[in-house]
Amino acid sequence: MIRTLDVLDLGFMSYNEALELQTYYHKSLINQKRQLDLDHQPVNNTLILVQHPHVFTLGTSGKQEHLKLKQDDLGHIEAQFQKINRGETSLTMVRVS
């Protein structure tokens, strides 16, 4: 069975916008799998490439006091804090040019 991988290059956008798109693709993939599982058809996966400003994330078990920087300090390093509803899993890719 040959599987394909779609690559979506979003360029530069905010973390929240990228997370919204990732959530949309994830939900679509789940719906697609449920529909196609009946026919035993493969589903295409999508690799999302995106660059966003620096962000510190805390998942469901994280607490604000776990963040070593104060909220005011984040602005000085052009970073933001984002509470998320899951543990963070990401693949970091570095472009060499």
Mean pLDDT value across the chain: 77
Interval 80-94 mean pLDDT: 67
**pLDDT, tens only, 43-56:** 678 888 888 888 87
Q: How far apart are CA 50 and CA 96, in angstroms?
A: 15
- Give the burial class of 84: count Cβ atoms within 10 A of its Cβ; 0-12 exposed, 13-18 middle, 19 or more buried: middle
Q: Taking a C-beta distance cutoff of 8 angstroms, is the pair 67, 58 a contact?
A: yes
**pLDDT, tens only, 14-31:** 888 988 888 888 888 888
DSSP state of 94: -
pLDDT for the residue numbered 93: 65
